[in-house]
Structure 1
Amino acid sequence: MNENRNGVVVAVVVGALALVFLPALALLLLMGGPPEGPSCGPGTSGNGQTLSIDPDTVPEGTVAGYGHEQLVNAAYVMQAGKDLDLGVRDITIGVMTAMGESSLRVIDYGDAAGPDSRGLFQQRANGAWGSYEDRMDPYISSTNFFRAMMQVEGRDTLEPTIVAHRTQRNADPYHYTRFWDAAVQVVEHLSGVDTGLTTGPGGGGCTDGTTTPGEVSMTGWAAPSAGPITSPYGMRVHPITGVLKLHDGTDLNGGGCNGPIWAAQDGVVVFRGFDGAGNGTIKVDHGGGVVTAYLHMYESGMLVQEGDEVQAGQQIGKVGSSGWSTGCHLHFSVFVDGSTVDPVPFLTERQVGLG
């Protein structure tokens, strides 16, 4: 099928000219100059690599439990995403969703969602998903999925499973989580390049595996993460519980999922783990009765251990969305003698601006 769609090119930009062969796929990777830094933009991975794959060259065999027919369908998903100039994270979300909906098979029957669900994405008969023939064509159905996904507001800051859920609703928004690691493995196998995508609990970000130092002020303090401020310190209606209560910290966008989190000042890590609400948390004691707390990281995003000595501006974590969170961000709290204070004026006095 899709005789005119050969030459899937799923990109991703690399540093250092080189020519690499992937014998199993007979795949040539032509690499350009050094990237400016991690990127999940159009056709790129966190490692900035560029890769090519032709569905007709997918070899026999299995990857992550998926056989040849399924891998060919994954290649068509990748091609559709590339043709829309999407980045590798978006493309991998497409592969993950097809895994969760059809196990990467073009099936001519519906699931629990209804008798008319069809194809790789179990799409139903409506204007968004096209005709029966469209839904049964892996390239066209993937293209329609990605076009709908591109309308999801703030998708770069959302977990992959939530992006998939908001694109074509599932009874369980977290249904697709279990397929993320396999999707990364399949995309990397078919392309022959390390995408830089994180896996494991909280996976879904794009990283080059390095840490980024923060900027330290003349007072020895640093901003805990990048802005803007998305929710200030003070009374508010909690977005999950709907209860009016004190928001005891300042929420920062942090640059989206896997953005760097920096220690606000020199100190010792006194807590690293998950609190009672499931928030991935790091607490740092700076002495003099001052403690700072950093919330919503995933397990893989907490880069220090209890007892570690940290320096102002040292990256101690990666922005996540664990616990009571509706999207990737950093909740930053400051405690003085055991009580929270507004972080904005606290850091302003120390020549550090938030947001």
Structure 2
Amino acid sequence: MPILVIGGLFGMMLLGADDTCAVADSSSGLSIDPASVPNATIAGYTHEQLVNAAYVVQAGKDLGLSVRDQTVGVMTAMGESSLRNIDYGDWETGGVTNPDGSRTTSIGLFQQQDGWGSRADRLDPYKSSTMFFQAMIDKVPDRASLEPTLIAHRTQVNADPYHYEKFWDPAVQVVEGLTGVRTGLNGSDGSSGGGCAGLLPGTVNANGWASPAAGPIVSPFGMRLHPIYEDWRLHSGTDFAGGGCDGPVWAAQTGTVTFRGFDGRGNGTITIDHGGGVQTKYLHEYESGMLVRTGDKVAAGQQIGRVGSSGESSGCHLHFSVLVDGQFVDPEPFMSAVGITLGQ
């Protein structure tokens, strides 16, 4: 039930008639009671981790920080401890020492050493989050002009300034999932994209279907010489030029997103279940180009992504697959049967 509640919140935000693109006021923080966190999973983080994220969010709210600042805090805790309040750190796991040769004493959500505060405070999720935010305020007064990963780096003084970058999108998902509010925070720079600004709807036919991308077909379904591995194998979908990098990717039909992320070969992938044994897959988006989340309800012709070149790709294009009862089928005749001619 809690998972359904979260899914319902996202569904209302994505499909509501009047407030589809409504976003939080970026200057006003969000509030969440850690005791109210449902027993659910968001972006791969489970209940214990989500409760800790709620403490981070609330600590930022109590300091009067913005939604972006709060999300930076969640991102940093993800990068430091995977949102787990652990009582050990880099010395115990990797023998890491400080520049003076002394053992590191990192613990808690933010892996804070002795200089941050007492052991009890560093192991208190709310107090350790407050200490992080206070340091961020003092050390990074120009943070509004910096990428989130650089804000975290300046606050934590870690070795790699871009260590936290990959945690930004999951942090946005967690904050939105816990609060039920669309933040409008998009991309690795943490800028506000204004909700649905810039998204383009596709054309839906009388049968309720839409082409998944614009542009000509550049590689059809069937056996071919793989352009990267140079061996003969089944090409399990139809490739579109898709209008080039960042061109719109549209849902072929109404359904539910069952997967959003990277497959085992690094391909950015969105999978939609349309019911009746029919699924569609959309490959090669970058992280920032996947505009929906697992569990979202999407409409035919809704822009769900942007054309990219992640994974096994030699250039920006959309790989579109259709599965019927779990088996790949040729998308061109399948879509033709529902009134869509691909590549036009």
TM-score (norm 2): 0.47
TM-score (norm 1): 0.46
